[in-house]
Amino acid sequence: MTSLEQAIESAKILSDKKARNLSVIKIGEVSSLADYMVLATGNNSTHVKALADELEFQLKGMGVSVHHIEGHRSESWILMDYTDVIVHVFSDEAREYYSLDRLWQDGESVDLSDYITED
């Protein structure tokens, strides 16, 4: 699975679990941190944790293991490092406060309209 395929698959899994405000940003051209960043918002702390758990479970079933997880005890932000793809699952407040969408605006936004539909 390429890093783009993994990023899109991550967005699809999160969308299926009702994550909101999904975005995938290609950052490989502007950072050596990763190839793609996936951003998602949960409805509350329980939903944020459930989204992260489901993503880890589904990707592991596809043979993709998470390298590192930060913030799982947090109530507002979980970071999942898959080496070439970094996934951030936020509460509304944390997403607004940290504003990673703005921070990574030099990256290229990936069009997800062919893969997911947000309600």
pLDDT exceeds cutoff 80 at 117: no
pLDDT exceeds cutoff 80 at 118: no
Res 73: pLDDT: 85
Number of compact structural domains in the chain: 1
* Token pair belonging to 16: 């299926």
72 belongs to a structural domain: yes
In the chain the beta strands, taken as DSSP E runs, fall at: 20-26, 36-41, 68-70, 77-81, 85-90, 108-110
* Token pair belonging to 106: 């030099």
Res 75: pLDDT: 80
How do residues 39-70 score in pLDDT, each as one tens digit? 999 999 999 999 999 999 999 999 999 999 99
21 belongs to a structural domain: yes
How do residues 71-94 score in pLDDT, each as one tens digit? 988 889 999 999 999 999 999 999
Q: What is the mean pLDDT of the chain?
A: 95
118 belongs to a structural domain: no
39 belongs to a structural domain: yes
Q: pTM for the full model?
A: 0.94
The number of beta carbons lying within 10 Å of the beta carbon of residue 33 is 12
Domain CATH number, residue 51: 3.30.460.10
pLDDT exceeds cutoff 60 at 119: no
119 belongs to a structural domain: no
Res 35: pLDDT: 98
